[in-house]
């Protein structure tokens, strides 16, 4: 069996289709049905005719990815799908052969059936696995550091941890540099701001955004970790109540509804629910109904907020979380 990475597009445009239809789909809209292609030379020739303006090395890379998706991927293999705008890795088992479905939406005709996707917060994966999951290729095999065994152990609720060797953590494929940097920051925050410290970090971000904040002391908080308001004394709108969950477990919809009720108690205009472990699908489904009432931040959102407001964070937080803004050339996603 094999562990595969299948990305859902540069902007995550295939994510919803994948999750809603229990499928893994790839782009290359201009290519017709690949079922009849039985030799790599045939695929190479098709790519040259379809994309005459692209360079040979690029076409060779595409040929490798498409051949793997059509011929090397087998039922029973696992697919890892990193979501673009949620701090979540989705894992599913391949349950069917390659199919070309011409009536599918644009960019989603080359498909593989998947058995029941399962979501896991990114912070449940070791750094070396996240590094491998950061490859920019649309399709690639993940095999370093016993990756498949570790992912299957996670699916089974078991622990399988190894200490990777330096030479094994190198990745020959190009990486999503931005996501890799966020993952490193996320791991550091998890070490330095555990428990009540996460509420302190969230409060500091809100203060940097112009809120006057009051953070509840450790212990029972009555459903609210932070109260925040605009203005010198915090009396001005919008007035927020914030609940911060620092556990690695995704929050269910009951926590969202609880925060909605607490808002009335505190006469708050809006609420913010921060969950380090992310949110279950039930929360994501109900959240749009509360768009003008409550916002959700997962670990990835909090890291983005820290990055955007870093210069205005207190010195003690900057000391515990030393960051430096850099410029890097971002390679084109394949």
Q: pLDDT tens string for the chain (334 positions)?
A: 899 999 998 888 899 999 999 999 999 999 999 999 989 999 999 999 999 999 999 999 999 999 999 999 999 999 999 998 788 899 999 999 999 999 999 999 999 999 989 998 888 888 889 888 888 889 999 988 899 999 999 998 887 767 655 444 444 456 677 778 888 898 899 889 988 999 999 999 999 999 999 999 877 666 799 999 999 888 999 999 999 999 888 899 999 999 988 998 999 999 999 999 889 888 988 999 999 999 999 998 999 999 999 999 999 999 999 998 887 766 665 5
User: What residue ranges define each of the domains in the chain, with the CATH number in brackets?
Assistant: 3-175 (3.10.590), 191-320 (3.40.1350.10)
Look at residue 171 in the predicted model and tell me its pLDDT: 44
3 state SS for the chain = CCEEEECCCCCCCCHHHHHHHCEEEECCCCCCCCCCCCCHHHHHHHHHHHCCCCCHHHHHHHHHHHHHHHHHCCCCCEEEEECCCCCEEEEEEECCCCEECCCCCCCCCEEEEEEEEEEEEHHHCCHHHHHHHCECCCEEEECHHHHHHHHHHHHCCCCCCCCCCHHHCCCCCCECHHHHHHHHHHHHHHHHCCCHHHHHHHHHHHHHCCCEEEECCCCCCCCCCEEEEECCCCCEEEEEEEEEECCCCCECHHHHHHHHHHHHHCCCCEEEEEECCCECHHHHHHHHHHCCCEEEECHHHHHHHHHHHHHHCCHHHHHHCCCCCCCCCCCCCC
Residue 180 confidence (pLDDT): 80
Could you give the C-alpha distances from 24 to 61, 192, 332, in angstroms and in order?
A: 19, 37, 21
């Amino acid at each position: 069996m094999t562990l595969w990475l299948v990305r859902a597009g540069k902007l995550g445009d295939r994510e919803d289709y994948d999750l809603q239809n229990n499928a893994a789909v790839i782009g290359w809209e201009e290519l017709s049905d690949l079922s009849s292609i039985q030799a790599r030379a045939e695929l190479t020739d098709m790519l040259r005719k379809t994309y005459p303006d692209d360079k040979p090395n690029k076409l060779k890379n595409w040929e490798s990815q498409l051949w793997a998706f059509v011929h090397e991927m087998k039922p029973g293999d696992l697919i890892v799908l990193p979501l673009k705008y949620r701090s979540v890795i989705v894992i599913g088992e391949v349950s069917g052969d390659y199919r070309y479905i011409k009536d599918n939406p644009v960019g989603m005709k080359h498909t593989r059936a998947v058995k029941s996707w399962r979501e896991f917060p990114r912070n449940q994966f070791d750094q070396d696995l996240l590094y491998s999951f950061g490859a920019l290729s649309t399709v690639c095999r993940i095999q370093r550091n016993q990756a498949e065994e570790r992912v299957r152990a996670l699916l089974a609720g078991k622990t399988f941890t190894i200490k990777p060797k330096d030479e094994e953590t190198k990745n020959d494929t190009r990486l999503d540099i931005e996501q890799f940097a966020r993952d490193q920051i996320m791991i550091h925050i998890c070490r330095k701001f555990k428990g009540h410290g996460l509420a302190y970090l969230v409060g500091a971000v809100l203060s940097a955004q112009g809120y006057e904040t009051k953070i509840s002391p450790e212990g029972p908080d009555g459903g609210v970790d932070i109260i925040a308001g605009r203005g010198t004394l915090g009396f001005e709108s919008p007035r927020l109540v914030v609940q911060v969950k620092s556990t690695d477990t995704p929050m269910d919809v009951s926590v969202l509804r609880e925060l909605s009720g607490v808002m009335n108690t505190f006469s708050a205009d809006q609420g913010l629910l921060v969950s380090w472990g992310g949110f279950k699908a039930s929360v994501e489904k109900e959240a749009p109904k509360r768009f003008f009432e409550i916002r959700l931040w997962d670990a990835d959102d909090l890291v983005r907020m820290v990055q955007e407001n870093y210069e205005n964070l207190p010195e003690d937080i900057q000391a515990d979380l030393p960051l430096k803004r850099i410029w890097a050339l971002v390679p084109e996603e394949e």
